[in-house]
Amino acid sequence: MPDYDSYDLIVAGGGTAGCLIASRIAEHGIHPKTGDRLRVALIEGGPYFIGGQQEPRPGYGATGRRQAIVNINYQEFRAEPWPYDGHQNKMMGGCGLHWGGNAYHPIKEDFDHWRWETGVDWDEEKFRSASQEIREVYNIHPAPEQNMTRGNFLFRDAARGTGYNVGPAPVGRSNCIDCGYCGSGHLCKYDSKGSSLYYIHLAEINGVKIITDSEVEKVIIEKQGGRAVAKGVHYTRHGQHNEARAPKVIVTCGTAGTPVVLMRSGYGSREFLGDRLIVENNNVGRHLDGDMGHGVNALFDIDIKGDRGGVGRYFFRMMGSMGYQTLRINDSKMSAVDEAYPHVLALHRFAPDLGWEHKEYMRTVCRRFGNISASLAAAIWDKGVVTPIGKFVYNREDARVLKSLKEGTELIVELYEKMEVKPVKIDRKPPKRFHIGHQTSSCRAGESRKNSVVNSDFESHDVENLLVASAAVIPRGNLTSAHIPTSLVAAYAWRRIVANHFTRGV
Ligand SMILES: Cc1cc2nc3c(=O)[nH]c(=O)nc-3n(C[C@H](O)[C@H](O)[C@H](O)COP(=O)(O)OP(=O)(O)OC[C@H]3O[C@@H](n4cnc5c(N)ncnc54)[C@H](O)[C@@H]3O)c2cc1C
Ligand code: SF4
């Protein structure tokens, strides 16, 4: 008996893309020779708080799960985090559980950018049924007017008055009560936010073997003559070393985790790997992209929130000096990574010194605090690198990016000053440094190994039987954030992978 487990397919990384791909391949794929159902393993580094029961519905029924869901946000996972940069939710479901629900579906320009960047053959027509799936699962729709606050309307009217084409930002939620507690960092206690829960449930009912608390150390890559072939993975569970083997391995460990796993497997550039190199590809861990943002805070002397939770937003897109900028308003919403928590506002530069005046400020500040953010998307810049230990390295003081964010800051200040009710304080300073969010492209798809790691069908250019998906394969940062692009590309990926590898006779 071999001392490893065998499957037909191993998916490494149970996040947004991993849950989607594993569940759909288990549902639709068959063994190409026998026609049998596939034995699929999904291996995730974090725990499985929400599973193990028929209905993954944290808002109903199971008290323990409900408590876990309400109180979890991605920051709590910093207690036992991945050592990677970026926000990595280390649990079954990945960032697909705690993302902000701002659901921008890729637009024509995104497809144009992807093709132009690396020569992928992706277009809107090929992605049609994937798009339909994602629109339905996430219930993508414009934020309804009843979710908009007075702050939202002040922003909308000032921007429209300046000639911008402002519309409600799309959301991915169903039956949302606008409690406002999920903006970007909390899981939804009512299952309203479109999330990995749907696909985790699908994985359960399609017999996917879900292996959690298991860090994939590396893909087993064997040299056979001149070829390199993936045979399975090594992973560590509760301190114990394990091996699993399968004729196909898909790595879906996100933008930071995917290149780390590939480099630990000996797959990457000579510069990074030295004598640990087994298969050379200079694009593993390179081209790190995403969007760069800056929020301009303001304090009003009126309540701009009212009785709304604050998940609605208006937004518009425009061209800045080096790329597209998206402007959107957040007024004072309760959210783990935004600015409007009381304990954050208590120490904000708008806050008076401690004393009666501070108490007076704290009485109402959560309803008077506004934020409009500019985000620079799909910029042409020098891009970054993910190192073998998952650190993001790029020039955080790139003068062109800072210039563009300064233009965004000035425009936002102008909009505040055009509002029917003007703020009493505005944080006017442009940023001196920036960081990228919604990170993508660290193992991108493209036409050849000269510019990418996998082809348009997600197959490694260099290692047979190895495939890669997740935000890492998106050829370039998007105009549409990252969650829906990642899910859309994953929904396209499972279709291609089933057609190419898990259909009778292929
Ligand atoms: C706070 C926050 C809010 C966001 N809000 C929005 C938003 O509103 N709109 C939007 O468009 N985008 C948003 N995003 C971005 C979006 O959620 C991500 O881009 C997307 O979910 C990435 O999906 P993924 O599959 O690439 O990675 P993930 O969902 O991160 O999945 C990667 C999985 O791999 C696992 N893993 C990593 N390494 C290993 C290993 N070695 N072994 C085993 N498992 C491993 C991780 O634990 C994780 O579960 C947000 C992100 C954050 C952090
Ligand atoms: S606002 Fe509340 S109900 Fe709506 S998706 Fe967020 S947490 Fe769920």
CA atoms within 13 A on the CB side of 34: 6
Check pocket membership of 311 for ligand 2, CB cut-off 6 A. Answer: yes
Tell me the β-bridge partners of 384: 288
Nearest atom (ligand 2) to Cα of 311:
1
Give, using CA atoms, the residue closest to atom 4 of ligand 2: 176
What's the whole-number average pLDDT of the chain?
Answer: 89
By alpha-carbon position, which residue is closest to atom 7 of ligand 2? Answer: 188
Question: pLDDT exceeding 90 applies to what percent of the chain?
Answer: 69
Under 8 Å between Cβ of 472 and 444: yes
Q: Which ligand is closest to the CA of 19, given by its number?
A: 1
Q: Given this model, what pLDDT does residue 455 score?
A: 98
Residue 180 CB–ligand 2 contact under 6 Å: yes
pLDDT tier at 331, thresholds 50, 70, 90:
low
Chain centroid offset of residue 40 CA? 24
Instruction: Look at residue 106 and give its three-state secondary structure.
Output: coil
Phi, psi of 69 (to 5 degrees): -65, -45
| Mean pLDDT confidence for 165-180 | 90
Q: Which ligand neighbours the alpha carbon of 309 most closely?
A: 2
pLDDT score of 78 more than 50: no
- The CA distances from residue 480 to 110, 451, 474, in Å, are 8, 23, 12
**pLDDT number for residue 191:** 79
Q: What is the DSSP letter of 73?
A: B
- CA–CA gap between residue 72 and residue 54 (Å, rounded): 21
Q: Is 99 in the pocket of ligand 2 (CB under 6 A)?
A: no
Rounded distance from Cα 187 to ligand 2 centre (Å): 8
**pLDDT at residue number 106:** 97
Question: Of ligand 2's atoms, which has the minimum distance to the CA of residue 101?
Answer: 5
Is the CB of residue 378 below 6 angstroms from any atom belonging to ligand 2? no
Q: Which atom of ligand 1 is nearest to the CA of 104?
A: 11
Q: What beta strand segments (E) does 246-368 contain?
A: 249-251, 267-268, 279-280, 286-299, 314-319, 324-331
Residue 11 main-chain phi, psi, to 5 deg: -110, 120
Closest ligand 1 atom, residue 261 Cα: 41
CA of 256 to the centre of ligand 1 (A): 9
- What are the tokens at 41? 């393993």
What confidence category does residue 330 fall into, taking pLDDT thresholds of 50, 70 and 90?
low
Dist CA 393 CA 396 (whole Å): 9
Q: How many CB atoms lie within 10 A of CB 423?
A: 24
CB 460 within 8 A of CB 278: no
Least confidently predicted of 39-43, 121-125, 180-184, 349-353: 180-184
Nearest residue to 180 (alpha-carbon basis) of 375, 421, 341, 371: 341
Ligand nearest to the CA of 216: 1
5-139+188-285+442-501 and 142-173+290-384+395-437: identical CATH topology: no
Q: What is the pLDDT of residues 249-300, one digit of tens each?
A: 999 999 999 999 999 999 999 999 999 999 999 999 999 999 998 989 999 9
Strand partners, 392: 386
For residue 180, the ligand closest to its alpha carbon is 2
Tell me which residue of 266, 235, 237, 232 sits closest to 249, measured CA to CA.
232
| Least distant ligand from the CA of 73 | 1
Check: CB of residue 89 under 8 Å from CB of residue 77.
yes
Q: Which residue bears the tokens 């890559």?
A: 221
- For the Cβ of 182 lying below 6 angstroms from any atom of ligand 2, the answer is yes
Inform me whether the pLDDT recorded for 398 exceeds 50.
yes
Q: Are 161 and 312 in contact (CB under 8 A)?
A: no
**223-240 pLDDT, tens per residue?**
999 899 999 999 999 999
Give me ligand 1 centre to Cα 220, in Å: 24
Which atom of ligand 2 sits closest to the CA of residue 191? Answer: 8
Residue nearest to atom 8 of ligand 2 (CA): 188
pLDDT at 97: 84
Q: Indicate which ligand has the atom closest to the C-alpha of 211.
A: 1
| Ligand 1 pocket at CB < 6 A | 12-18, 43-46, 74, 87-90, 94-96, 98-102, 104, 184-185, 215-216, 252-255, 257, 261, 337, 438, 470-471, 481-484, 486
What is the average pLDDT across 381-399? Answer: 96
Burial state string for 175-188 with b = 16 or more CB within 10 A and e = fewer than 16:
ebebebbbbbbbbb
pTM: 0.95
Ligand nearest to the CA of 101: 1
Domain ranges of the chain: 5-139+188-285+442-501, 142-173+290-384+395-437
CA torsion angle 150 156 157 159 (round to 10): 140
HSE, CB side, 13 Å, CA atoms: give it for residue 195. 30
User: Which is more confident, 466 or 69?
Assistant: 466
Q: By C-alpha distance, which of 221, 223, 225 is closest to 233? A: 221
Question: Are the CB atoms for 278 and 228 separated by under 8 Å?
Answer: yes
What lies within 8 Å, CB to CB, of 196 at 6+ separation is 15, 16, 19, 20, 92, 93, 94, 96, 97
Q: How far is the CA of 91 from the centre of ligand 2 (A)?
A: 20
Which SS3 state, helix, strand or coil, does residue 141 take? strand
Query: Which residue's alpha carbon is nearest to atom 2 within ligand 2?
Result: 179
Please tell me the distance between residue 327's alpha carbon and the centre of ligand 1 in angstroms: 23
pLDDT at 336: 42
Q: How far, in Å, from the CA of 66 to the mean position of ligand 1?
A: 22
Nearest-atom index, ligand 1, CA of 217:
41
- pLDDT surpasses 70 at 497: yes
CATH for 142-173+290-384+395-437 (2.60.120, 2.60.40, 3.40.50, 3.30.410): 3.30.410
Would you state the pLDDT for residue 187?
Answer: 76
Rounded CA separation 370/377 (Å): 22
User: What local confidence, expressed as pLDDT, does residue 344 receive?
Assistant: 83
The greatest distance separating any two alpha carbons of the chain, rounded to the nearest whole angstrom, comes to: 78
The residue whose CA has the least distance to atom 46 of ligand 1 is 90
What residue has token string 């998007």? 478
Give the per-residue SS3 of 142-183: ECCHHHCCHHHHHHHHHHHHCCCCCEECEEEECCCCCCCCCC
Mutation probe of ligand 2 site: the residue of 57, 71, 173 with most atoms within 8 A of C-beta:
173
Q: Model confidence over 97-119: pLDDT tens digits?
A: 888 899 999 999 999 999 999 99
Q: Which percentage of the chain shows pLDDT scores above 70?
A: 89
Distance from Cα 36 to the centre of ligand 2, integer Å: 41
For domain 5-139+188-285+442-501, is the CATH number 3.50.50.60? yes
| Residues linked to residue 376 through DSSP beta bridges, in sequence order | 292, 325
Q: Which pLDDT tens digit goes with each residue over 466-496?
A: 999 999 999 999 999 999 999 999 999 999 9
What's the CA gap between 236 and 222, in Å, rounded?
A: 20
Q: Can you give the pLDDT at residue 74?
A: 54
**439-467: pLDDT as tens digits:** 999 999 999 999 999 999 999 999 999 99
In this structure, are residues 314 and 326 in contact, taking their beta carbons and an 8 Å threshold? Answer: no
Q: pLDDT at residue 172 above 90?
A: yes
- Within 8 A by CB and 6+ apart from 359, the residues are none
Atom number, ligand 1, closest to the C-alpha of residue 74: 1
Residue 71 has a pLDDT of 55
How many angstroms separate the alpha carbon of residue 359 from the centre of ligand 1? 39
User: What's the pLDDT score for residue 335?
Assistant: 44
pLDDT at 329 over 70: no
Rounded to an integer, what is the distance from CA 284 to the centroid of its chain? 19
